[in-house]
Amino acid sequence: MWIINNIFAVSFMLTGNLCAVQRYPVTSTFGTSQPQKPNQSFPRCDDILRADYPRTSCYYKCYFSKQGLQKGTHSDGTRCASDKFPGRWGHCMRGVCISTEDELPKFNFTKPKQPCYDKYRGKGYAPSCQHTCMHFGKHKQVNYIAGTPCVVLDEYRDRVNAVGICLRGICTPIYKLESRHRNIRKKVFAKQYHRCQEKEHYGRNMLQDCHYFCKLGDDWYYGFYKSTYNSACQAFTPQRMSGYCCKGECIPKANCEGNIGDIPAAINPAGEKLSTL
């Protein structure tokens, strides 16, 4: 009986030791787990977590020699190369590589080629009553302020057909406005636009207007025909009287002989082109 009990005790101890060996891994002499062999399909964490590593993703899988396989996302702000747009660099944001252009609206980085404004900034007459500008990265047409003095040019843009003011983005000739705006000529023929020298009229036609226009640089200005017998004109008054030019007005006598203030200003209600001869 004693022998049977000893055999049973020895068997129980051997079984317990075998279970302990299967439950716990074999330890080294220092009591730590034996390291697993590196997985060659993943890069080393010491390499991929370096600041200068050429990463194309903000998500990583790598291998530590002691901890084994590790995975996670790079911290926000880590430099990365966008795989969506090759050659463009960005930074990690919540595990996603964000390029600078994608993170913020494009108009924040677009310097307008021409600012948007409604006041003509040239020195002479406005050759157009609109201008194109960049508005939040898009082209936009802006009308100049109503009343801006302007000129209507021919198809070659080297000759003035009419002079007037801007209304709703269109240059409206003064002969269409003078019946409603008596002082329109003072505004259109202001002194600041008078820069052309007086010149002789050599044409055989009778002038419909005693002003002519010239281009100085990129700007248009007006000048007067000389008061001679060659500058015959016709004032479109009820009497349809004819005369001679004198400082932009049509008066009865040549060489500025007479009272200019007594003669109405020459306008053209019929719509003929202003002479630039």
Give the DSSP letter of residue 118: S
With 50 as the cut, is the pLDDT of residue 264 above it? no
pLDDT at 7: 55
Pick from 218, 207, 226: which is nearest to 277 by CA? 207
pLDDT above 90 covers a percentage of the chain that reads: 36
Which pLDDT band, with edges at 50, 70 and 90, does 238 fall under?
low
Listed in sequence order, the residues at least 6 apart from 210 whose beta carbon sits closer than 8 Å to its beta carbon are 224, 225, 231, 233, 245, 246, 247, 248, 249, 250, 266
Q: Where in the chain is the domain with CATH 2.30.130?
A: 36-103
Contact present, 80 and 58 (Cβ < 8 Å): yes
Beta bridge partners of 135: 138
Q: What is the pLDDT of residues 45-71, one digit of tens each?
A: 877 777 777 777 788 788 777 777 888
Distance CA 120, CA 159 (A): 20
With 80 as the cut, is the pLDDT of residue 102 above it? no
Mean pLDDT of the chain: 76
pLDDT above 70 covers a percentage of the chain that reads: 69
**Angle at Cα 246 formed by Cα 240 and Cα 252, nearest 5°?**
40
Most confident of the following: 108-122, 166-180, 224-238: 166-180
Contact present, 252 and 262 (Cβ < 8 Å): no
Contact present, 269 and 174 (Cβ < 8 Å): no
Distance CA 150, CA 159 (A): 13
Q: Poorest-confidence range of 99-103, 165-169, 196-200?
A: 99-103
pLDDT at 204: 87
Listed in sequence order, the residues at least 6 apart from 270 whose beta carbon sits closer than 8 Å to its beta carbon are 175, 236
Contact present, 166 and 143 (Cβ < 8 Å): yes
Which pLDDT band, with edges at 50, 70 and 90, does 6 fall under?
low
With 70 as the cut, is the pLDDT of residue 33 above it? no
pLDDT at 214: 97
Q: What is the pLDDT of residues 211-225, one digit of tens each?
A: 999 999 999 999 999
What CATH number should be reported for the domain whose range is 36-103?
2.30.130
Mean pLDDT calculated for residue range 157-171: 94
Mean pLDDT calculated for residue range 13-33: 43
Distance from chain centroid for Cα 258:
56
pTM of the model as a whole = 0.52
Contact present, 217 and 122 (Cβ < 8 Å): no
pLDDT at 3: 57
With 70 as the cut, is the pLDDT of residue 5 above it? no
With 90 as the cut, is the pLDDT of residue 98 above it? no
The more confidently predicted of residues 227 and 237 is 227
With 90 as the cut, is the pLDDT of residue 103 above it? no
Which amino acid appears at position 55 of this protein? R
Structural tokens at position 196? 């052309």
Give the DSSP letter of residue 174: G
Compute the CA torsion angle 252, 254, 208, 276 (nearest 10 deg): -170
Mean pLDDT calculated for residue range 1-23: 49
pLDDT at 100: 60
